[in-house]
Amino acid sequence: MSRGTGRPGAVVTGIGLVTPLGRRPGEVFEALTAGRSGITAVPEDHVAHGWLPAAGIAPHIEGQEVLPPTETRCVDRFVLLAMAAADDALADAGLLVGRDVDARRTAVVLGTGGGGLETYEQQARRRQERGRPAVNPYLLPGMLSNMATARVAIKHGIRGFSSAIVTACAAGAQSVAEGLRLIRAGDAEVVVCGGTDASLHPTIVAAFANARALSHGWDDPRQASRPFDARRNGFVLGEGSGVLVLESAEHARARGAAGYAELIGWGSTTDAHHPTMPRPDGEGAADAMRHALASAGLDAAEIGYVNAHGTGTRLGDLAESAALNAVFGAHRPAVSSTKGATGHLLGAAGAVEAAFTALAVARGLLPPTLNLGDPDPACDLDHVRGAARPAVLRAALSNAFAFGGHNTSLVFGPTPTEAVR
């Protein structure tokens, strides 16, 4: 149960990750807390070579790994990443839909920032060059933003609520929040939720570069992502997917499942300020955090760690720092941004970082912010830097903010299950 309110939480019983740091949750978290970076130079055989100085590139996923060979035609990478992460999350949870849970009491909610933009661009080019007959008839079921959700539901026989959330870089976190909403409302016993994005292709890169949003000028790509650092000059673009299996506490206990952590609160707000820039005072982000605390029935002083959105942009880090200080004041929880190690995974970021936060609660270890050698004095926070920090957490918070002014915050506490992952 959530702390203070008696409102039901949702136990994280499975995690699936496809990230620049690897795939297995334990190995990824070990790399994260050891201070290793997943950001690299873009190899010559990659479509984004020559367009990006550094990127967070996720492991390659072949279509045949997640789909029958006859169904791999024209399927965008964002779908394949999501399917791989969902397969891993359900296996990690030891849960088979139809055997361990009623298919009609199982939901799936997966977010994305852009969907299958690269696949659309490829097919548009074929049409321009060769006319209508050249367009693949499988284009739409391969690239629409809801297709990660749909494919996961089809593969695993999930017959309850399903949705695709498209709120840019908050989409993954908002999908996880939707999972808690469904379980609290009694509309599902199990929710497969998270985010996915694969935007490492020239058109998206060019747009971000022309907007002067990308980090530049670093000889070592591992130094390019520098959240909250005085020398930060933009974010590093990445790709990946994160999927969590959420269960009602009663359902998890009944099947003897082990939990990583419990999702006990969420908050979402809108800045109503600007299409791309956050409110300078961080008011919208602060409201999301306050709503998340109220949803969890917690006071600000009970939060021991914040996994910040922290992209490494000048304005974004300043606004989030202002929001954190407005919410927590003199309490000053430990703060880190794991984007220093992964880059910014766009619509997948909030889900991947929610998984990192759940793992931090389970392991009692806070990952550091990489490349934070000279913290910006205007980002005055209790930064975890240099090395991971041991901590026994009463609760932890994860932030995700986005173009359009979308803000989502999630609160995790220790798992209520007898077995702990």
Question: What residue ranges do the domains of the chain occupy?
Answer: 10-413
Q: How far apart are CA 117 and CA 346, in angstroms?
A: 13
pLDDT, position 13: 98
Distance from the Cα of residue 8 to its chain's centroid: 23
**Residue keyed to tokens 């000048």:** 314
| pLDDT per residue as tens digits for the range 275-306 | 999 999 999 999 999 999 999 999 999 999 99
pLDDT, position 141: 95
Tell me the average pLDDT across 334-352. Answer: 98
Type of residue found at 396? A
Q: Which two tokens stand for residue 29?
A: 């978290």
How many contiguous H segments (helices) and E segments (strands) does the chain have? 13, 15
Tell me the average pLDDT across 379-402. Answer: 98
Burial class (CB in 10 A: 0-12, 13-18, 19+), 62: exposed
pLDDT, position 6: 57
Q: Which residues 6+ apart lie within 8 Å of 234 measured at CB?
A: 212, 213, 214, 215, 216, 312, 313
Residue 169 annotated among the catalytic residues of the structure: yes
Q: Regarding the domain delimited by 10-413, which CATH topology (the fold level of the hierarchy) does it fall under?
A: Peroxisomal Thiolase; Chain A, domain 1 (3.40.47)
**Residue keyed to tokens 């930064």:** 383
Q: Do the Cβ atoms of 163 and 338 come closer than 8 Å?
A: no
Band of residue 421 on the pLDDT scale cut at 50, 70, 90 = confident
Residue 309 annotated among the catalytic residues of the structure: yes
26 phi, psi to nearest 5 deg: -65, -45
Weakest-pLDDT range from 68-72, 102-106, 159-163, 348-352: 68-72
Q: Do the Cβ atoms of 245 and 12 come closer than 8 Å?
A: yes
pLDDT, position 5: 52
User: For 359, how many CA atoms within 13 A lie in the half-sphere containing its CB?
Assistant: 26
3-class SS at 315? helix
Q: How far apart are CA 342 and CA 352, in angstroms?
A: 10
pLDDT, position 419: 85
pLDDT, position 192: 99
pLDDT, position 115: 95
| pLDDT per residue as tens digits for the range 185-228 | 999 999 999 999 999 999 999 999 999 999 999 999 999 999 99
pLDDT at 246 over 90: yes
Tell me the chain's radius of gyration from C-alpha atoms.
20
Q: Which residues 6+ apart lie within 8 Å of 129 measured at CB?
A: none
Tell me the average pLDDT across 139-162. Answer: 97
pLDDT at 156 over 90: yes
Bridge partners (DSSP) listed for residue 52? none
pLDDT at 4 over 60: no
pLDDT at 7 over 90: no
| pLDDT per residue as tens digits for the range 74-99 | 999 999 999 999 999 999 999 999 99
What is the pLDDT of the chain when averaged over all its residues? Answer: 96
pLDDT at 173 over 70: yes
pLDDT at 15 over 80: yes
Type of residue found at 64? Q
Helical residues (DSSP H) of 94-188, grouped into ranges: 117-130, 139-143, 147-156, 171-184
Share of the chain above pLDDT 70, in %: 99
Share of the chain above pLDDT 90, in %: 97
| pLDDT per residue as tens digits for the range 26-56 | 999 999 999 999 999 999 999 999 999 999 9
pLDDT at 1 over 70: no
3-class SS at 233? coil
Q: Which H or E run includes 33?
A: helix 25-33
pLDDT, position 393: 98
* Catalytic residue of the set 156, 291, 309, 383: 309
* Catalytic residue of the set 74, 156, 169, 379: 169
Size of the chain in residues:
421
Tell me the average pLDDT across 341-354. Answer: 98
Q: Is the pTM of this model over 0.95?
A: yes
pLDDT, position 220: 97
